[in-house]
Structure 1
Amino acid sequence: MSVSDSNALFEDLLSSAARLSFDPRNPAVYERGVEDEWSHGMTPEWSPLYGTAMWDSMSEAERSRLTTSEVAQFLGVAIWLELGLQVALLRRNVSSDPARPDVRFLLNECADENMHSLMFVNAISSIGARFYPRDASFTLFGWLFRSFAWAEVAYGITLAGEEIFDVMQRDWMASENVVAAIRRTSYIHVVEESRHMQFARRNIRDCLAGSSRFRRTISSLFIAIGTHVIAKSLINRRVYEDLGLNWRSVKREIDGNEHHRMMFRKAAEPLIEFLGKEGLLNGGARWIYRKSNLL
């Protein structure tokens, strides 16, 4: 795609943002539904424990509490990604011409991401859940990503998080047994992130245009490592310990849960398809995605 074609795409994305954006500060987004008392925090099938003996032994109230705590962890990871994304991309563009269509859209995207983070904070508060601290290794990775990720690696790791959450939230927003605030915020996020994913895909293609095989190989590996960290960060032992569950038993159940692996592979399908088309899926990257249960 030529520079003029790329600019036209970014202008179209800006027009889309003007036509179809939401204000997540509206209190109506977080109002409780009449069915919320026994609703889940997310579609039960996305719980890493779904289908295990431990899940089967739980009452419906316990399952509801579990998925409510798990969705807080998932959305906490989403906030972490969105904040890190902004730092990484703004740092890369701090000296760019702010009138360029791609930079203008980046500024709009950062505004969206801030609102999404606030939206998730409000949603988790409204359903009576809380966020959980991350392991130090994830904090270290976040610093490395913000400080050193280059071009397609920054956009690739960003796209990984966006694609995975997009698949999950399309289920959440359509599930009648998910609490109303999560359904509504999932819908808003899916609609607005569709623009962000187009932006990331276009920038990855532009960054890789005419690149060497060596660069694609190295970028493939770093994107895969970043995606692995995202996938692993979704499961936090503190969530389960806070619910009074034995972490060793939980981990054993999750590690042996084929349904959980299948759902993670489902979440990663659009990402894996895109990376394959763009030459970012070599043998080493495939090995990492398999270790992450994403392939």
Structure 2
Amino acid sequence: MTPKTQTRTTDREDIAKRLLRSSAKASYDPLVEIDWDAPIDRDRYAIRPERLSLYGTELWETLTEDQRRELSRQEIASVASIGIWFETILMQMLVRHAYDRDPTTSHVQYAYTEIADECRHSVMFARMLGKLDAPFYRLDPVAQFLGRVFKTLSNGPLTFSGALFVEEILDQLQREIMVDEELEPLTRAVSRIHVVEEARHMRYAREEFARDWHNRHPLIQHYSRFVLGLVVYYATTRLINPRVYARVGLDPRTARKAARRNPYWTDTKTWAARKVVATLDAAGAISGPGRYFWRKAGLLGRPGAPAAPTAGPGTQRA
């Protein structure tokens, strides 16, 4: 079993005051900050091609450059759809977190501030879908039902570990996007706003998870590991909705199978999750039956596989 490491935490009120000050200095209204009237540049990728689910497969070789760029727009739209889904869950969990606590504290006031941020982010992602000429990629009924159960029954460690997982995955992908001047300006602008504001959310989640996790009864920890593994599995395996492949003329079932077997895609997921995996694994939150779901989702890497490369700006496009 992975040894548990007690993460050092800051006083709850002190960190909340810092985050509130940061929010006052660097918060954005995406409806104002982003030029929504600018046309999409269809000669650019929306995300680096090496991060796409079919990159390196035989199917990838059959696609024209226009189809590859369209696939990039549809895949980033699918990821944004997952973002909207989980941010809606997170907002409800944060309301529950604040419900029994003193609203005069900075800790609760920051929870309200984060809810406001997430509302704006969901609107921003939804607007981006429309600009990319992409639908809202709704999850399948099983995942939708499990999300409804999760937001209703989650405890403190599940709320903040789940939030940290989704936010870290998006953060890694968006940090690449926002600095790459060869990519579509809209996805770069959306990524920049999200990265700045989610840095505060991740600090809040990381501290609150560490503070709560080690005070929980071992049975609660076992339960939380298992449920977290399920949440991680369903969120990760739904990142790319099969319907995106139909938008570029591919058979969804065939393309989904190719993506599932694609070592490049597995390595990308492992790379995107590496920080949150290190944090939660050190705390002992990735073990037992729950660890099976992390591995099955492709987040713990392939045996003997090197880390997915971090390409710099100006990477040659395939």
Same fold (TM over 0.5): yes
Equivalent residue number for residue 241 of structure 1: 246
| CA distance, structure 2, for counterparts of residue 72 and residue 4 of structure 1 | 36
Do the aligned partners of residues 4 and 269 (structure 1) sit closer, same or farther apart at CA in structure 2, a change above 3 Å counting?
A: closer
Equivalent residue number for residue 146 of structure 1: 151
1:200-225, CA deviations, whole angstroms, 9 ceiling, x for partnerless residues? Answer: 11111121233233322221221121
Letter of the structure 1 residue corresponding to residue 67 of structure 2: E
User: Which of 288, 293, 299 is residue 294 of structure 1 equivalent to?
Assistant: 299
Do the aligned partners of residues 11 and 244 (structure 1) sit closer, same or farther apart at CA in structure 2, a change above 3 Å counting?
A: same
Kept in 1, the 8 Å contact 2:103–2:109? The answer is yes
Equivalent residue number for residue 17 of structure 1: 23
Letter of the structure 2 residue corresponding to residue 20 of structure 1: A
Structure 2: unaligned runs, 5 residues or longer:
1-6, 301-318
TM-score, normalised to structure 2, is 0.87
Do the aligned partners of residues 162 and 59 (structure 1) sit closer, same or farther apart at CA in structure 2, a change above 3 Å counting?
A: same
| CA distance, structure 2, for counterparts of residue 3 and residue 28 of structure 1 | 35
Say which is worse superposed, 240-249 or 227-236, in terms of deviation.
Answer: 240-249
Kept in 2, the 8 Å contact 1:88–1:145? The answer is no
| CA distance, structure 2, for counterparts of residue 293 and residue 121 of structure 1 | 27
Deviation (angstroms), 1:259? 0.3
Kept in 2, the 8 Å contact 1:69–1:239? The answer is yes
1:30-84, CA deviations, whole angstroms, 9 ceiling, x for partnerless residues? Answer: 3537x92311122212211111111122111111111111111110110111011
Letter of the structure 1 residue corresponding to residue 107 of structure 2: D
Equivalent residue number for residue 109 of structure 2: 104
Letter of the structure 2 residue corresponding to residue 138 of structure 1: A
Equivalent residue number for residue 136 of structure 1: 141
Do the aligned partners of residues 204 and 249 (structure 1) sit closer, same or farther apart at CA in structure 2, a change above 3 Å counting?
A: same
Equivalent residue number for residue 227 of structure 1: 232
Deviation (angstroms), 1:232? 1.1
User: Which of 120, 127, 132 is residue 127 of structure 1 equivalent to?
Assistant: 132
Kept in 2, the 8 Å contact 1:29–1:185? The answer is no
Three-state SS of the structure 2 residue aligned to 1:132 is coil
Kept in 1, the 8 Å contact 2:229–2:292? The answer is no
Structure 1 residue 8 and structure 2 residue 14: aligned? yes
Within-5 A mapping of 1:19-98: 19-26=25-32, 28-32=34-38, 36-98=41-103
Letter of the structure 1 residue corresponding to residue 25 of structure 2: R
Letter of the structure 2 residue corresponding to residue 207 of structure 1: D
Structure 1: unaligned runs, 5 residues or longer:
none
Say which is worse superposed, 134-143 or 168-177, in terms of deviation.
Answer: 168-177
| CA distance, structure 1, for counterparts of residue 10 and residue 199 of structure 2 | 22
| CA distance, structure 2, for counterparts of residue 143 and residue 212 of structure 1 | 25
Do the aligned partners of residues 29 and 202 (structure 1) sit closer, same or farther apart at CA in structure 2, a change above 3 Å counting?
A: farther
Deviation (angstroms), 1:173? 1.1
Paired residue total: 294
Equivalent residue number for residue 214 of structure 2: 209
Kept in 2, the 8 Å contact 1:49–1:55? The answer is yes
Equivalent residue number for residue 277 of structure 1: 282
Kept in 2, the 8 Å contact 1:30–1:180? The answer is no
Three-state SS of the structure 1 residue aligned to 2:15 is helix
| CA distance, structure 2, for counterparts of residue 4 and residue 269 of structure 1 | 23
Three-state SS of the structure 1 residue aligned to 2:215 is coil
